[in-house]
């Protein structure tokens, strides 16, 4: 940085003081939630930390949270992001300042696996799997097909295929809770302007949507859409064009569960009122 240049100070996220982050809903088994699970693409942990985005974690107090697009090695994590009462796990990939995922867990997992065991997919730090006694928790930052759809073929014919196979294999052992920025708006209701973006913009290409459909057909459920079949809510808004205030957005972030877990789900929520990134947090309440 030139001597005369000044670093722009990022504004702290708006106060969470008056926001209610509880769930009073019973699931189909008549039980209240015993786990709160969160996913959030934070678009760089350094910037997120400067905005004090970690205050949201303290307010929501999830049992597990998966962060995506951390863009930071584990040794460079800002100290204020080392939160009390959480075990943390970082999958940083090999390219500094790019991609990356992290888990914060109140209860230590039995095992934690970085990646899916296929080198060409694992060098970008996109997947973390935590094993617990009665479920797998998988957090992912699915590759974006890119400007001009330059990574569409890799994403849909390689990553999506191999990753679905990975989830199915886990599901054969115990139920799966899968979350993250999946970089696809599955249905037209999942973005503001479907006709303008179909097959032109990464995230709403028919091939991406088909692969997501294939995942669901393999024994999984999109919890938000199952519980809210006609609600148009978004989890991502471009920084350009004041999209967030206009609510011109996309639903790119998901909690997906094994079909046999659906009756245990209490609620699946999009925290659109929480700022700190171009994505907002999403929450799954479940009793398992």
Residue 51's SS3 state is coil
Pairing of strands 253-258, 176-181: antiparallel
Question: Which residue is listed with tokens 């004090």?
Answer: 52
- Segment holding 160, helix H or strand E: helix 160-171
pLDDT surpasses 80 at 80: yes
Residues marked as catalytic: 141, 181
Q: What pLDDT, on the 0 to 100 scale, is given for residue 9?
A: 64
Other beta carbons within 10 Å of 4: 5
pLDDT digits (tens, 9 = 90+) for 97-117: 889 999 999 999 999 999 999
What's the rounded Cα separation, in Å, for the pair 190 and 193? 9
Per DSSP, the chain holds a count of helices (H) and strands (E) of 9, 12
Q: What pLDDT, on the 0 to 100 scale, is given for residue 4?
A: 43
Question: Which residue is listed with tokens 């999958």?
Answer: 91
Instruction: Provide mean pLDDT across the span 260-278.
Output: 98
Quick one: pLDDT band at residue 125, thresholds 50, 70, 90?
A: very high
Segments of 176-281 assigned E as strands: 176-181, 220-222, 253-258, 265-270
Closest CA to 64 of 180, 228, 185, 216: 180
Residue 133's SS3 state is coil
């Amino acid at each position: 940085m030139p001597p005369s240049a000044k670093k722009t100070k990022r504004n702290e996220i708006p106060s969470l003081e008056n926001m209610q982050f509880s769930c009073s809903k019973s699931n189909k088994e008549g039980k209240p939630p015993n786990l709160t699970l969160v996913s959030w693409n934070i678009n760089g942990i350094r910037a997120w930390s400067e905005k004090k985005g970690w205050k949201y974690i303290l307010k929501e107090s999830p049992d597990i949270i998966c962060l995506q697009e951390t863009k930071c090695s584990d040794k460079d994590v800002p100290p204020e992001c080392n939160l009390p009462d959480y075990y943390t796990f970082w999958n940083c990939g090999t390219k500094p300042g790019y991609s990356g995922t992290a888990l914060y867990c109140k209860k230590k997992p039995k095992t934690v696996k970085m990646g899916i065991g296929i080198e060409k997919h694992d060098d970008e730090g996109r997947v973390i799997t935590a094993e617990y006694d009665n479920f797998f928790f998988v957090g992912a930052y699915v590759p974006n097909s890119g400007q001009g759809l330059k990574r569409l073929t890799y994403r849909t014919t390689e990553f999506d295929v191999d990753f679905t196979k990975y989830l199915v294999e886990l599901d054969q052992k115990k139920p799966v809770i899968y979350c993250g920025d999946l970089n696809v708006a599955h249905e037209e209701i999942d973005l503001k302007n479907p006709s303008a973006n179909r097959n032109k913009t990464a995230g709403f290409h028919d091939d991406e949507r088909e692969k997501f459909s294939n995942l669901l057909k393999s024994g999984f459920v999109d919890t938000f859409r199952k519980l809210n079949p006609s609600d148009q809510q978004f989890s991502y808004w471009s920084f350009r064009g004041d999209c967030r205030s206009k609510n011109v957005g996309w639903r790119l972030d998901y909690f997906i569960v094994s079909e046999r877990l659906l009756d245990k789900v209490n609620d699946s929520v999009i925290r659109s009122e929480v700022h700190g990134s171009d994505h907002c947090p999403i929450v799954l309440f479940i009793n398992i």
